[in-house]
A = this chain, B = another copy of it.
Amino acid sequence: MASMTIIDIAKICGVGVTTVSRAINNHPDISEETKAMIMKVIKENHFVPNNSARNLKRSASKTIAVLIKGITNPFFNRMIQVFEKEIQRKKYSFILQRVDENQDEIEVAIELEKEKRLKGIVFLGGYFSHVKEKLEQLTVPYVLSTIGMTPEFDPQEYSSVSVDDFKESYKMVDYLCRLGHQKIAILTAPMSDVSIGKLRYEGYKQALADHGIPLNEKLVCCMKEQIESYSMENGYVVTQELLASGEEFTALFAVSDSLAVGACKAIFESGKSVPDDYSVAGFDGLDITFYYHPSITTIRQPVEEIAEETIRILFDLINKKMTHAHKIFPGELMIRDSTIPYKE
């Protein structure tokens, strides 16, 4: 059942594991004779040693890690279920590792890779703006799932599965413009963001431009950095400020559904109504957008398909069936009760 390990080789050779490790790694502290004997046994047994000396003290494991930024985002819950199912189907084990907002996920991945001897990594969510040199420190295959990358990144350097955040965001804002709205606020990521937040904001700007609507920076509302990003609380607080500013708007596009829910609450609390006073739209396709009252117009990301494709690509990489792949799924504009045509 289990494949041969270095421990088995050591046993056959009648030497310690460290000696076998030295033979494999051309370590100076081993006689040529012992080394030749060990290499002969390795060859006879078709044993494939692992590359990393650090790994030699560990037994073989087949583990995939999913590194997730923002585990409280319900968007990821369904994806995690799919990851787990698919990874188990491949007879691999599954580690779920949360990464804090202020943690560097590559550093976490490098540590985990050493510690758990991973076969592959899925990065889920978050901003991804690491330099190429850093990404190269990862020695196992990885796939970025629902992480938008800015165009500066060479697609030859990584694999990814996501929707086209620019295009889907454009689709939503274009829809709001077609409803006759001209004063459309956006709840988006801080301008320092270079990932999905930026892409969705760029889609907003382009849609406005294509409808001949000048950008009003007073309607560009960034999430608070001190509050959990993309959360209901963040949408609530930022929308309260927007309403208090007195700047006129008739529609609001939030770059996540949780932000949109928070925005609706702030509007209701101010004595105004969704959609009669303000149309509100979100992004992601969370269940709550259906169950909210009114139901919230959103872009549904096909989470199950994205998760399944992520694992398919990861295993193709592990099995060296390809070098890199990028898969983009279409989102779906779900028109619900929170958006209505502009009224004079």
Contact = CB atoms under 8 A, between A and B. Distances in A.
Contact of A232 (B80, B95, B291): B291
A262 interface: yes
Interface residues of A, number: 42
A240 interface: no
Contacts of A233: 287
Contact of A80 (B15, B18, B71, B292): B71
Interface stretch (A5-13, A185-193, A204-212): A5-13
Nearest to A96: B96
A264 B10 CA distance: 66
Nearest to A273: B293
Interface string A8-24: 00111111111100000
A218 interface: no
A50 interface: no
Contacts of A7: 7, 16-18, 57
A19 B11 contact: yes
A115 interface: yes
A30 interface: no
A77 interface: yes
A81 B74 contact: no
Interface in A186-233: 232-233
